[in-house]
Chains A and B, each alone.
Chain A
């Protein structure tokens, strides 16, 4: 079965540069979520989108922005990168409102290293 696809899988950027991560949800899923996981930490929710509209916002820095496009893929844009942004970034997708509670499926993540 098709899973959540993230690209690139690995990314190295210098401080103050910009990075863009892409996420392709499972077909027919209308909701996308972004998470950040620093070294030794648990995944932290950043932001989510439903039908191209922001549906929830977590601890996403102002330097970061995201959007969901008409084909439901999503992009996370990170500007003025800092060393502390080095982390594993996960995208996840789900249906917004299915019966019996919805299940969120995660991609394999994109490793961002800021040097």
Chain B
């Protein structure tokens, strides 16, 4: 699975959009981009995933560049409860030839939402 690079920390004002970048320059054609977050000492929480197209759900939007070498997770209106470590993970699903389905966590971005 391709490696990802994320800034170690970011700040965001409450109510503003939080834009979390992720670099995955070695991503292969069938690898998905997943985003999870972990609020302190809780289980990692699934946010969103995508392959090529931008995706949006009730939690966030995922913008993937055309060359797929980077992506941005957007939390449209950050709240204090969004303070967490955000993980960007690239993974090849089993049905596309991946060996297994496990997630490998990197260091993530600590997003601190300020009041």
* Partner-B contacts on A (CB < 8 A): 4, 31, 33, 42-45, 48, 55-56, 58, 88, 90, 92, 94, 96-97, 99-109
Contacts and interface: CB of A to CB of B under 8 A. Distances in A.
- A-B CB proximity, top 8 nearest: A106-B43, A56-B100, A101-B32, A42-B105, A101-B93, A106-B44, A43-B105, A108-B43
For chain B, the bracket of interface size reads 20 to 34
A48 B41 contact: no
Contacts, number: 67
Given A96-B101, A101-B93, A42 B43 contact: no
A99 B93 CA distance: 9
Contact of A97 (B32, B44, B95, B107): B95
Given A103-B46, A105-B46, 10 more contacts: A43-B44, A45-B103, A48-B102, A90-B43, A97-B93, A101-B32, A101-B34, A101-B49, A102-B94, A106-B44
